Amino acid sequence: MSLTMKPLEQLDAENHSHESREEVAFYVRVKARYVEIEYWYERLFASHDIGDFERDMLPDTYDGARLWASLAAGDINNARRSIDSIFPFGSTDEILGHLKKYKEEVQQSLAALVPKQVAKALLPATVPKRRGNQQKQECPGDMLERASVFFSCTSCGERALPWSKVNVHWHERHPDIHFFDDGGWPRKKLHVRFWEEGHQTVQKILAVLRFGSQTSAAHLDSLVKSGRLYCACGDPSLELPDELIWAKLVKHLHVHLEMNYAFKNTHLMVFKGRVVTWIDDHRLQDCIKCLPLHADTSTSSHRFSADAATRTRVERHLDKIVNPVCAVCRALAADVTTPSELATIAQSCLSRNADAIVYHLKAKHGRDFREEDVTSKSS
């Protein structure tokens, strides 16, 4: 009986086909395994008291399942075992150990993003203990609590994120992407960066308030919420004190300072038959207020409000346009010959809030609302 050898090309093709089928089957099995672990992870929080752990500080469902990636991808045979048989629901020590390590890893990774010179100013080498003369070293987590430490998301551009809200932002905005941008956990590199521009803005604010650089965000949060610390501009897009936090106030001030800087080279010009200009209505020494304890805080809730007739006109006009922008800002930007971020800011969409639009025209350009001053971004 003679044996016929298959051609090498056919053998290679069959081997490749077999490997491809195995790879696809493994991928499908691992994907299904992660879905199972995600379900198990959610049941963990629904069924157990996790003590001092705050849910916002822990991995979301996507990253939480990948804390135990080896159960899905480390061993093909493991993917056929029940999760509950590996981690009995009655025993959570190992599980909570992983979660605690995750929070510490996030803190360390965020602290590592703070430039060394900034960290040096924010974190003293030693601080006195309450008792005795001994000194203790502060940990990286302490630095993250400072009023000027914020982060921005490199995935969507969101700014003014205090460290405690970075994880929350990821839960809400990026639930299907790894928090750590090098593919898993534990890792060092995150999808965020230190918000240097915001840090500089906060330093200016603290200088006006005569607060030190080591002031905590928690202290300023309490001042903001009590109405003692506020911006006196009356911008209706800014939340009222009971809904406001320090981070939002910083972002508000930073946006206005950013616009002022961008428009600083503009000058008087005629637009639609009227002289227009850019008005700086956010000089920090004038608009930042910090009231003493027990002072009347009613002024912190003042927000500009257009009269009823004007508001109706604005709302009717907004019904006709998409993505409203300020035509006056556009005209001022077009008149500047030096390229800058001004053009981008001038193209930024206005809020669809009628009060905010009337406020913008009045505060930034000294104009009453006219329909021709608000156009569609695409026009």
By CB atoms closer than 10 A (0-12, 13-18, 19+), residue 307 is exposed
Confidence label for 123 from pLDDT (cuts 50, 70 and 90): confident
What's the pLDDT at 364?
92
Report whether the peptide linkage leading into residue 88 is cis, meaning its omega lies within 30 degrees of zero. Answer: no
Which pair of structure tokens corresponds to residue 229? Answer: 């610390």
Which pair of structure tokens corresponds to residue 245? Answer: 């936090």
What's the pLDDT at 8?
64
What's the pLDDT at 254?
94
Which pair of structure tokens corresponds to residue 301? Answer: 């809730």
For residues 311-330, average pLDDT: 92
SS3 324: strand
Number of other residues whose CB lies within 10 A of the CB of residue 324: 19
What's the pLDDT at 162?
94
Are residues 363 and 283 in contact, defined by beta-carbon separation less than 8 angstroms?
no
- In angstroms, the CA 123 to CA 137 distance is 10
Are residues 190 and 171 in contact, defined by beta-carbon separation less than 8 angstroms?
no
Torsion sign over Cα 290, 293, 295, 299: positive
| Mean pLDDT rounded to a whole number for the chain | 80
For residues 346-355, average pLDDT: 83
Which pair of structure tokens corresponds to residue 19? Answer: 């490997």
Instruction: Please give the residue that has the higher pLDDT: either 341 or 212.
Output: 212
What's the pLDDT at 135?
47
User: Of 14-18, 51-55, 178-182, 336-340, where does the model show the most confidence?
Assistant: 178-182
Are residues 276 and 332 in contact, defined by beta-carbon separation less than 8 angstroms?
yes
What's the pLDDT at 43?
72
CA angle 202, 208, 212 (to 5 degrees): 65
Alpha helices in 69-195 (DSSP H): 83-86, 93-113, 116-122, 140-144, 163-173
pLDDT higher than threshold 50 for residue 76: no
User: Of 123-132, 150-159, 173-182, where does the model show the most confidence?
Assistant: 150-159
SS3 22: helix
Which pair of structure tokens corresponds to residue 236? Answer: 């209706």
Domain boundaries, the chain: 21-96, 232-376
First to last CA, the chain: 83
